[in-house]
Amino acid sequence: QQQVKQSPQSLIVQKGGISIINCAYENTAFDYFPWYQQFPGKGPALLIAIRPDVSEKKEGRFTISFNKSAKQFSLHIMDSQPGDSATYFCAASPYSGGSNYKLTFGKGTLLTVNP
Amino acid sequence: DVKVTQSSRYLVKRTGEKVFLECVQDMDHENMFWYRQDPGLGLRLIYFSYDVKMKEKGDIPEGYSVSREKKERFSLILESASTNQTSMYLCASRTGWGTEAFFGQGTRLTVV
């Protein structure tokens, strides 16, 4: 059972355009929703994260939009640059303690920004 | 600067060998994870540990085991390597709920 569904699998955007990646989840216990960015040959690194008490979070050119009732969240990259070309993963984590600190990841989106 | 260090970047092993992948973190994190990354499949959780000597199976534990004798070190063991275990292996650690997970650089394992 895939708990976090991510789309599209790949995305090509022109420089200056808007990149949009979507994720949907099923587990209502999820309470923390990060996005990770991975460049070739590197491990993933946290880009931006949101908790469901807010509907939007913005950090520079990166924005997460969150829709709790639809159980969906998305990453928007404004003014996309060639340096943003990377693989992006959405993830989700439940709020309870104990052994529930694991992150469940989507399958990833390969973003290519053409100059 | 926080760090998760994986002992090898590239590893080539023969079918049937016992393989150890080592991961060390210097952030005093309670939680450590092993993921496997394959094209089109994303990051899949193999095992995680929420305390020393404590472990829990992830989504794809078959063919793997783990060891955590010290807080900073989490080892992934392939008991008898098979070609379908050729993959990128990523170690991560985090302190708790709602916190950033830090990843190592990954170990690209090839089983021949």
Q: Mean pLDDT over all residues of chain A?
A: 92
Q: Mean pLDDT over all residues of chain B?
A: 94
Beta-carbon pairs below 8 A across chains A and B: 73
* C-alpha to C-alpha distances, A23 to A17, B5, B23, B38, B104, nearest whole angstrom: 20, 30, 30, 19, 24
Distance CA B41, CA A105 (A): 10
Residues paired with B78 in a beta bridge: B19, B64
Convert the pLDDT of each residue in A67-96 to its tens digit: 999 999 999 999 999 999 999 999 998 866
Convert the pLDDT of each residue in B93-102 to its tens digit: 998 777 889 9
Residue A1 confidence (pLDDT): 56
- pLDDT of B40 strictly over 60: yes
Distance CA A84, CA A62 (A): 11
Residue B79 confidence (pLDDT): 94
Nearest to B31 by CA among B52, B57, B62: B52
- pLDDT of B1 strictly over 90: no
DSSP B2-43: --EEES-SEEEE-TT--EEEEEEESS--SEEEEEEEETTTEE
CA A103 to chain centroid: 12
Chain A: residue nearest B10 by CA?
A41
Nearest CB to A45; choose among B35, B54, B103: B103
CB distance A80 to B14 below 8 Å: no
Residue B60 confidence (pLDDT): 95
Nearest CB to B40; choose among A43, A103, A107: A107
CB distance A43 to B90 below 8 Å: yes
Report residue A26 as tokens: 């099923």
How do the pLDDT tens digits run along chain A, 115 residues long?
Answer: 568 999 999 999 999 999 999 999 998 888 899 999 999 999 999 999 998 889 999 999 999 999 999 999 999 999 999 999 999 999 998 866 555 578 899 999 999 999 9
CA of B111 vs chain A CAs: smallest distance (Å) = 19
Residue A103 confidence (pLDDT): 87
